[in-house]
Structure formats: C-alpha cells, structure tokens
DNA sequence: TAATAATCGAGACGGTACGTCGCGTCTTCTG
DNA sequence: CAGAAGACGCGACGTACCGTCTCGATTATTA
C-alpha cells in the first residue's frame, strides 16, 4: 500500500504508533483543514481550562464542543491519548537549558527548569488539570516521559559526565546514578508529591547539598 | 482482617469519603457476607494476574467473574477505584522497617524496603499490572499516597531527625528536604521510571553517596 | 409435607392458586398479625389514592410504605396481583341486586348497578386509578371477572330466563345471547370506553330500547 | 410503509406523545435503516409467536433477538408500548367495511368484521398472545382504542344515522346510544369475555334481534 | 418454666432490566 | 475526497425490583 512514501520525514522511528496517521499515500481531493485542527485543540484547551476532568473529555464531547465530526478526529489521531500528547507537547517550554559557566551552575539551571515547570502547573488551570491527572493515561504518561522527561535526563547525564571530566564531581560513581541523585528530589516534589513546596532557591540548595554531602562539618 | 471489628460508628468527618460505606447506624438485617467480599477480591486479583488491563476491569466483569451481583459490589464501595485501593492496601507488606543500630543503617534499610517493593512489582504479574497503570486513576493514586507512601515518608523523616540529634547528619538543613534527598532517587526509579535497574546494594550506595557528597576526594 | 391437611375448608377448589398460602399444617409458633395485614392494605390504598399508578406499586415500595418486611407480604400472597385482587374484592359493593316486581324492572335494576359502579369509579380516586389500569394485570383482570362480573352475568341470565318463562321476553333466542344484548351496551361504556357518559335513566332506556326494538313505530 | 414519507415536521400539538420521535428538523447524517426497523418488528413478532408473554418482552431481549443495539430501539420509540402499538396497527386489517344495499346489511357487515377479528385473535398465536395481555399496558390499550376501535365506532354511527334518515331505524333515540346497542354485545364477546363463542351468523342475529326487539311476537 | 417454632422488620444476595452514554465504524449529503 | 451529522452494534454505567435468604428479636403454643 505504499505507506509512508510521502515527503514527510516522520521522525519517531518506532515507538508508540506516532501521533498522527499521516494523510496517506498521495494526497488527492480536498485537503485537511488546518482550521479544523485548531478548533479541536481550542475545544480541548477550553474544556480543560473550565476544569473538566480528563476522564470526562470524551471524543464525543470534544467533537461536539469543536463543532466537528467524530470521524474528523479519528482521521487525525488513533485515540484520545494521542491527541492529548500532541496538545501537551505543544504547551511544553521550548528548549530547557543552555550550558553556563561551571558544571555546578549548569546543574542548578537544569533543576531550576524542573522547578519552574512544577510552578507552572499550579498557576495555569489547564496545566494543573491535565498534569494532575495525566497519570491516569498510560500512553500519555509514556509519551510524556519519552518526549519531555527523557531528553532532559540525557542532558543532565551529559552535564554530570562533563563534571566528572572536569574534576568537579567524583568519577568513581555511575553517571546515571549520580544524575538520579540530583533530579530525584525535584521530580519527587513536582510529579509524585504535587502538593509539595517549590520555594525559590530550591534547585541551588539541592545541588549544593548533594555535592557537599550530609555529614556534619567539623 | 481489619473487617469491621471496631465498634466505632465511623463518623469520618471529612477525608476522601472513606473507603466503604459502613453498614449504617445499628446493625440490622442480614449481615454482609465475608465470603462474598473475598470472592470479589479473588476475582479482581485473578483477572489482574491474567494480565487484564485495569481499564478493562469493569464492575460488570468483576461481578460476572466473582459470581456476584453488581449491587453487592456497589453496596461495599462507591466505585471501582475505592475497591482497588482496598485491594492494594491489603497487598502491601505489613510494617516496613524497625530501627537498627546506626541512623545510616536505618536509612539503608528504609531505602532497601523501597527497592524490594520495586522488585516485587516486577516479579508479581498482579502487582506489575496494577502499579504500572495505577497512575490512570487519581483517587487510587491519591489513596495510595496517603496510606502507603506518606506514612513511610514520615518514618524516614523521623530517622533523619534522629540522625541530626545524634550528630550523624548535619543539622543546618530542613528535615523534609534532607529526607527527599535520600528517597527521591529511589522513588524516581521505582515509580516514575519503572523500567530502571534496581540492583542489590543500590540502597546502600544511595545513602552513602548522599551522606558523603559528590565532591572528588583529594 | 402434609400440605393442606388443616381443618380449614379452603374453598377455591382449583383455579388460579388462591389468594393466600394458608398458615400451613398445625399452627404453632407466633401467629400472623392482623394489624400487619391491615397496614399493608392501608399502604396500598393510600398510595393508590395519592394517584400512584399501578405499575409503580412495587412490592418493595408497598413494604416500605407499610413499614413491613418484604417477606411478610410474600408470606401472604404469591405476588402483587393476588394482593390487589383481594383488596379489590373487599371494595366491591356487597350484594348487587334483589328481585323487583316485573322482569323488566329487575333488568333495569341490574343495569343500574352496573351504571352505579361505573360512576363510583369516577368519584373515588382509588377506584378510578385501579380500575383504569386493571387491564394491565391479567391475573387481576381474570380474578375480577370470575368473582365479580361472572356472578352477576349469571344473575342476569337467570332474570332473562324468568322473563322468557313469564312471557315478558320472546323465548326463541338463546338466553346468554339475550343477556349480552342487555348488558353489552353498559359494559361497553363502563369498561371498554371508560370516558363515556353514564347519565341517570340510562339503564332504563337501554332495557326499554332493547325490548322494544329499533324499528320505527308506525 | 407509512414511513416518514410526508415532509411535514410533525408538530403534533397534543395527543399521546406521537408514536416515534421523528428524525428532527432537517434530515442530516446517516438515515435510519429500514432493514433494522423490520428486524425489530420481526423479532417481536417471532417472540410473540413462540408464546413469550408480553411481560417478558423486555427491550433488552428484543434487541438481543433482533441483533440490534438497545439505543437503536430507543431512537425510534420512547418505550416498549409505543413499539407494540405500531406493530399492532400494522397487523390490523385495512379498511373494515364499505356500504352495501340496506342499512341493515351494512350493520351486519360491520359487526361481522368485529366477529372476524375476534376469530383471528384465536387462530393466530401472535394476535392471541398480544391481545389477551394488551389490557396490561394502558398506553397500548388507549392507542388501540384511538386508532382502531374509535374510527369504526364512528363508521357505525354514520351508518345508524343514515338508517334513521332512510326510515329503517327509529329516530327518537340518540345515535351513539343506538350504536352501542349494536356493537356492545359483540365487543363484549371479543374483548371483555375473550373466551365466548363467535359462531357464524352471530352478527346477523344481533342486528336482527336489536332491530326487532325482544318482546314476544303475538 | 422452659423449649420450640413461626412471625416480625431489616436488609443482603444473585439476577434481570432499565434508560443513558461513549466507543469506533459506517453511511448519507454538502461543499 | 474532506467534512458535519448522526445511525449503528456493542458494552458498561449506576439504579430499581424481583423473589429468596439470613439475621436478631418477638410472641405464641406445647412440654
């Protein structure tokens, strides 16, 4: 059936099905309306902002709100979750961090990004709503892990590795292990225990405490 | 079996509705059958062990499997999630840790418990199934936090506090903050990134690394 | 199990099960409370007077209203309809007619009784309610036929037969056929077409018209 | 098949709700399948012919038998009874009578139709089943009255009126009253006392007896 | 004076059906 | 061909009654 022969790059090599089905084969006839696409996003965003819980966001309701046929949605995404994933991805802040002067500063900046996102989830009704319930949708959760969390984890590991090379971090430990020591505490507060405090300076304190250790100073 | 053996009428002022409706005021009429209760749990456990995903565990199906009327289930729990919460709670290992000799050892033991549970989720089909999808059910997730995670978090904080008093841990930091440094990395691996490795000795390594810090030794 | 060997006559030889199961064997233990029986009747009557439709008179609701256990009702009647039959029978006017002077007068009186009952159904909320919906319950309808309608039909046939013997009615026709000519029109108005008029003198007019025939008088 | 072939939007001012919901305003989206409609009727008819009592004809069972979703039935009729009404109506013989030579003959023909229908109810398992229990469903009963019985009653009244004008029937009596004298006896036997005999010639005998009167001939 | 036994209110129990909702697929007509 | 509309088979929802069955508590008769 000559799938995928369109000019579109289609990155996500394998993974979980990929967000949109692609317009199939050669594109003939009436093209898909971008306005419709936007209307669907707007509808979902609108409903979430009104505080509608994720579980009540049925395809049927989204279609009704957007003034769109159900088939039109299914033509674009295989299911509810894939739609959410795409919406979420578009809301994520662009590029998380750039390298600073010292490795310690880079780590602080990395963790600060995590903190900022945690705070954002509380200020925006939409983000709060969707993040607090995202756990409930495995595909959503997985996709979020893959596309948002994992890249930054790698970024963190690169930084740690550089720290070891530069002599700022002891190099007798596993890189991933060390990285977890840094980001674990913050992820714990933003994802697992969403009600926890995220006061300014937290990122810095975590990095410094982990670097310095917890033994009493003489 | 923690089944109604307290004469307390259960006023439960606020809270999250309380797990089961309680048999109301004075106990009149035919009493609820414990056998039925067990049959329901067995049915859920059985289905989960067969690999049926949580989302397909409809009340209807549970009732069918258990050979029980739907109303009999609704008589005991307001909904699916409350039933799962109670089931999960009953599967949780009793009391995680008791104090050892040094605070450092206690912390290791605490984290070792976390690691063991993480491993259990992988060996038991049931646990794996339900935990990997628990995220999808907010009430379940919350209840699990409240009744399982939180108590141990307090246990950890107590240990940290004791460590500060005994001079094993520097006392210029917030207790909760310190506790997060210890358990964050492990929770990260067991809950957020469920595929991560959990090799033996991990608990010990985390505690020691956090205690010693990451600065290169001269 | 020695059913029916009690000294009670138990009339209804065969028929549709008979209203109440009889207290069984020798009567020992606590006897059935008459007060309870009355409470059930009162509850049904009360609900019907409030305009509750027959279809909504569930055993469950009757028991609730009467402050009585469901089993207490089932102990007395096999089902809803049998209960209604007994209630209805108790509401029926005692003895329908007594013989007058001429056969023509007897027939008028017979039909007048039918008319009166038809009117009663309209004045009493209870009677109206139950009669207008009685059709819906085969057993109820049948029992009503057997115990109320049929006896009077026989009474009518006896009267017609007497009329033939006395020379007041032509005797070249079947008795039952003739009887139907008299009561058919009234039953039509009271049972089949419950909204029809039932003006005073109707009984007389029917009898006279049927006796005299409809051919124009010269 | 009397299916929506009128372009009228069906305002149906009052009435008994109107049989089917009507597909609403302009006709858009996929149209209702006539095949499905037939399958439902077939299922009901089939079940009835097997002797299934009306009370056991749940919507659930009909849907199951017809291989149809419940919603598909509810989309067409508000409830069980409305479905039955429409089915019954479709089974009723088309137009009962046309005028003959004398008014007496017309009346005989009218009553003969009633007799025939009474007989039909006994020969057809379906008709017997549904008619014998139709009483149990007020709406069904009412609708049957309105759409089947009443029109023929008017036909009878027209005939009586014509008889009065032509001098075949005395004109000092109310038309409706006279009509009841004719059809009352037959309706009594077919509807109220469904077990009664309906021998050939009954219609003729009723008409002649009512016309001639019951006084003995000298 | 007990023992026995059937009654009572209450409500749990396995079922069946209710009428509604959402699923994902399918048809129809309109652009 | 895309798109809005909505019908379609399906399956689950949570509720209501069905008729049966335990419960503890009365209330008679019998021993």
Of residues B80 and B23, the one with the higher pLDDT is B80
Helix/strand/coil (H, E, C) string of chain A? Answer: CCCCCCCCCCCCCCCCCCCCCCCCCCCCCCCCCHHHHHHHHHHHHHHHHCCCCHHHCCHHHHHHHHCCCHHHHHCCCCCHHHHHHHHHHHHCCCCCCCCCCCHHHHHHHHHHHHHHHHHHHHHCHHHHHHHHHHCCCHHHHHHHHHHHHHHHHHHHHHHHHHHHHHCCCCCCCCHHHHHHHHHHHHHHHHHHCCCCCCCCCHHHHHHHHHHHCCCCCC
Q: What is the CATH number of the domain that holds C153?
A: 1.10.357.10
Mean pLDDT estimate for chain D: 81
| Same domain, yes or no: C103 and C178 | yes
List chain B residues with CB under 8 Å of A141.
Answer: 135
Subset of residues 10-29 in chain C with CB less than 7 angstroms from any atom in strand E? 23-25, 27-29
Kindly report which listed range (A55-64, A105-114, A126-135, C58-67) carries the lowest average pLDDT score: A126-135
Of residues D40 and A99, the one with the higher pLDDT is D40
pLDDT at C44: 93
Classify residue C171 by burial, with Cβ atoms within 10 Å: 0-12, 13-18, 19+.
Answer: middle
Q: Are A159 and A103 in contact (CB under 8 A)?
A: yes
Give the position of tokens 């207008």: C132
pLDDT at A42 over 80: yes
DSSP code of residue B51 = T
Band of the pLDDT at B8, cuts 50, 70, 90?
A: very low
All residues at 6 or more sequence positions from A179 whose CB lies less than 8 Å from its CB, including other chains: A153, A156, A157, A160
| Same domain, yes or no: B39 and B75 | yes
Of residues C132 and C24, the one with the higher pLDDT is C132
| Same domain, yes or no: C70 and C112 | no
Q: Are B169 and B160 in contact (CB under 8 A)?
A: yes
Rounded CA-CA distance C215/C218 in Å is 9
pLDDT at C4 over 70: no
Q: What percent of chain B lies above the pLDDT cut of 70?
A: 75
Of residues B54 and B78, the one with the higher pLDDT is B78
Contact state of D173 with C209 under an 8 Å Cβ cutoff? yes
B167 to chain A, any CB pair closer than 8 A? The answer is yes
The answer to whether chain C touches chain D by having 3 or more C-beta pairs less than 8 angstroms apart is yes
Band of the pLDDT at D146, cuts 50, 70, 90?
A: confident
Distances B199 to A170, B108, B119, B202 between C-alpha atoms, Å: 21, 14, 9, 6
D67 touches strand F (CB under 7 A): yes
| Same domain, yes or no: A131 and A204 | yes
Closest by CA position to A106, among listed A25, A188, A169: A169
| Same domain, yes or no: B117 and B157 | yes
All residues at 6 or more sequence positions from D55 whose CB lies less than 8 Å from its CB, including other chains: D133, D136
Of residues B54 and B174, the one with the higher pLDDT is B174
Rounded CA-CA distance B161/B103 in Å is 10
pLDDT at C138 over 60: yes
Q: What percent of chain A lies above the pLDDT cut of 70?
A: 73
Contact state of A187 with B191 under an 8 Å Cβ cutoff? no
pLDDT at B76 over 80: yes
The answer to whether chain C touches chain A by having 3 or more C-beta pairs less than 8 angstroms apart is no
List chain D residues with CB under 8 Å of C170.
Answer: 214-217
Band of the pLDDT at D13, cuts 50, 70, 90?
A: very low
Distances A2 to A5, A11, A16, C193, D88 between C-alpha atoms, Å: 6, 18, 21, 73, 56
pLDDT at C207 over 90: yes
Classify residue D103 by burial, with Cβ atoms within 10 Å: 0-12, 13-18, 19+.
Answer: buried
C217 to chain D, any CB pair closer than 8 A? The answer is yes
pLDDT at B196: 83
Of C169, C181, C213, the CB nearest to D185: C181
Rounded CA-CA distance A213/B216 in Å is 11
pLDDT at D86: 86
| Same domain, yes or no: C52 and C158 | no
pLDDT (mean) for A173-187? 94
Q: What is the CATH number of the domain that holds B72?
A: 1.10.10.60
pLDDT at B48 over 50: yes
Q: Would you say residue D161 lies in a domain? A: yes
Closest by CA position to D21, among listed D73, D76, D69, D71: D76
pLDDT at D112 over 70: yes
| Closest residue in D to C136 (Cα–Cα) | D136
Kindly report which listed range (A24-38, A106-120, B14-28, D49-63) carries the lowest average pLDDT score: B14-28
Q: Are C174 and C199 in contact (CB under 8 A)?
A: no
Identify the residue whose Cα has the smallest distance to the C1' of F30: C28
| Same domain, yes or no: D96 and D191 | yes
Rounded CA-CA distance A70/A80 in Å is 11
pLDDT at B181 over 60: yes
For B184, other C-beta atoms within 10 Å of its C-beta total: 27
Mutate to test the interface with B, among A134, A156, A180 (most CBs of B within 10 A): A180
C72 touches strand E (CB under 7 A): yes
pLDDT (mean) for C155-175? 94
C148 to chain D, any CB pair closer than 8 A? The answer is no
pLDDT at D61 over 90: yes
pLDDT at A148: 73
**Distance in angstroms, CA of C2 to C1' of F31?**
23
All residues at 6 or more sequence positions from B146 whose CB lies less than 8 Å from its CB, including other chains: B16
Rounded CA-CA distance C181/C199 in Å is 19
pLDDT at C184: 94
pLDDT at B2: 36
pLDDT at D98 over 50: yes
Contact state of A187 with B186 under an 8 Å Cβ cutoff? no
Distance from CA of C189 to the nearest CA of D (A): 8
pLDDT at B190: 82
Identify the residue whose Cα has the smallest distance to the C1' of F1: A29
Rounded CA-CA distance A175/A177 in Å is 5
Rounded CA-CA distance B135/A192 in Å is 10
Band of the pLDDT at B10, cuts 50, 70, 90?
A: very low
| Closest residue in B to A132 (Cα–Cα) | B138
Mean pLDDT estimate for chain B: 81
| Same domain, yes or no: B101 and B208 | yes
pLDDT at A130: 66
Q: Would you say residue C107 lies in a domain? A: yes
Band of the pLDDT at B72, cuts 50, 70, 90?
A: very high
| Same domain, yes or no: A68 and A128 | no
Of residues C147 and D71, the one with the higher pLDDT is D71
pLDDT (mean) for D86-110? 79
C171 to chain D, any CB pair closer than 8 A? The answer is yes
| Same domain, yes or no: C43 and C109 | no
**Distance in angstroms, CA of C32 to C1' of E7?**
6
pLDDT (mean) for A54-66? 90
Q: What percent of chain B lies above the pLDDT cut of 90?
A: 44
Q: Would you say residue D153 lies in a domain? A: yes
Q: Would you say residue C191 lies in a domain? A: yes
Mutate to test the interface with D, among C136, C144, C156 (most CBs of D within 10 A): C136
List chain A residues with CB under 8 Å of B206.
Answer: 177, 181
Burial call D182-218: b when 16+ CB within 10 Å, e when fewer: bbbbbbbbbbbbbeeebeeebbbbbbebbbebbeeee
| Same domain, yes or no: C172 and C102 | yes
Q: What is the CATH number of the domain that holds D49?
A: 1.10.10
Rounded CA-CA distance C94/B12 in Å is 60
All residues at 6 or more sequence positions from C145 whose CB lies less than 8 Å from its CB, including other chains: D193
| Same domain, yes or no: B49 and B156 | no
- Crossing angle between the packed helical segments C150-166 and C175-187, to the nearest 10 degrees: 130
Classify residue A83 by burial, with Cβ atoms within 10 Å: 0-12, 13-18, 19+.
Answer: buried
Band of the pLDDT at D126, cuts 50, 70, 90?
A: low
Q: Would you say residue B97 lies in a domain? A: yes
Tell me which of A46, A76, A106 is where a domain ends.
Answer: A76
Rounded CA-CA distance C32/C93 in Å is 28
Of D149, D185, D216, the CB nearest to C184: D185
**Segments forming the whole domain that contains residue C67:** 34-76
pLDDT at D63 over 70: yes
Q: Count of domains in chain A? A: 2
pLDDT at A19 over 60: no
From start to end of chain B, where are the E strands? none
Q: What percent of chain D lies above the pLDDT cut of 90?
A: 44
Distance from CA of C15 to the nearest CA of D (A): 16
**Distance in angstroms, CA of C61 to C1' of F28?**
30
- Which tens digits make up the pLDDT trace of A105-139? 999 999 998 898 888 876 666 666 666 666 666 66
Mean pLDDT estimate for chain A: 79
Q: Would you say residue A2 lies in a domain? A: no
Distance from CA of A122 to the nearest CA of B (A): 17
Identify the residue whose Cα has the smallest distance to the C1' of E7: C30
Tell me which of C76, C104, C126 is where a domain ends.
Answer: C76
Q: What percent of chain C lies above the pLDDT cut of 90?
A: 44
Contact state of C180 with D168 under an 8 Å Cβ cutoff? no
- Which tens digits make up the pLDDT trace of D160-218? 999 999 999 999 999 999 999 999 999 888 877 767 899 999 999 999 999 999 898 76
Q: Would you say residue A5 lies in a domain? A: no
Subset of residues 43-62 in chain C with CB less than 7 angstroms from any atom in strand F? 56, 58-61
Rounded CA-CA distance D88/D126 in Å is 10
Of C137, C170, C205, the CB nearest to D214: C170
pLDDT at A15: 42
pLDDT at A94: 61
Closest by CA position to C211, among listed C112, C104, C137, C68: C104
- Which tens digits make up the pLDDT trace of B117-158? 888 776 666 666 666 666 666 677 777 777 777 888 888 999
Tell me which of C76, C106, C135 is where a domain ends.
Answer: C76
D27 touches strand F (CB under 7 A): no
DSSP character string of D130-146: HHHHHTT-HHHHHHHII
Q: Would you say residue C123 lies in a domain? A: yes
Closest by CA position to B192, among listed C100, A20, C83, A185: A185
Band of the pLDDT at D12, cuts 50, 70, 90?
A: very low
> Both tokens of residue A95?
């590029």
The answer to whether chain D touches chain B by having 3 or more C-beta pairs less than 8 angstroms apart is no
List chain A residues with CB under 8 Å of B132.
Answer: 138
pLDDT at C58 over 50: yes
DSSP code of residue C191 = I
Rounded CA-CA distance C13/C10 in Å is 7
């Amino acid at each position: 059936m000559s799938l995928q022969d369109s000019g579109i790059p289609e990155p996500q090599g394998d993974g979980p099905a990929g967000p949109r089905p692609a317009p199939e084969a050669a594109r003939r006839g009436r093209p898909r309306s971008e306005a419709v696409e936007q209307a669907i996003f707007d509808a979902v965003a609108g409903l979430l902002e009104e505080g509608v819980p994720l579980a009540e966001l049925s395809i049927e309701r989204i279609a009704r709100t957007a003034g769109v046929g159900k088939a039109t949605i299914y033509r674009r995404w295989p299911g509810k979750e894939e739609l959410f994933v795409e919406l979420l991805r578009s809301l994520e802040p662009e590029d998380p961090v750039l390298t600073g002067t010292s490795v310690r500063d880079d780590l602080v900046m990395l963790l600060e990004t995590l903190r900022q996102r945690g705070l954002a989830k509380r200020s925006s009704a939409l983000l709060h709503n969707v993040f607090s319930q995202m756990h409930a949708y495995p595909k959503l959760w997985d996709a979020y892990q893959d596309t948002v969390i994992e890249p930054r984890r790698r970024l963190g590991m690169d930084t740690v590795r550089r720290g070891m090379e530069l002599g700022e971090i002891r190099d007798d430990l596993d890189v991933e292990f060390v990285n977890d020591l840094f980001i674990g505490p913050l992820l714990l507060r933003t994802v697992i225990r969403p009600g926890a405090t995220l006061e300014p300076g937290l990122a810095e304190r975590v990095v410094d405490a982990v670097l310095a250790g917890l033994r009493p100073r003489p």
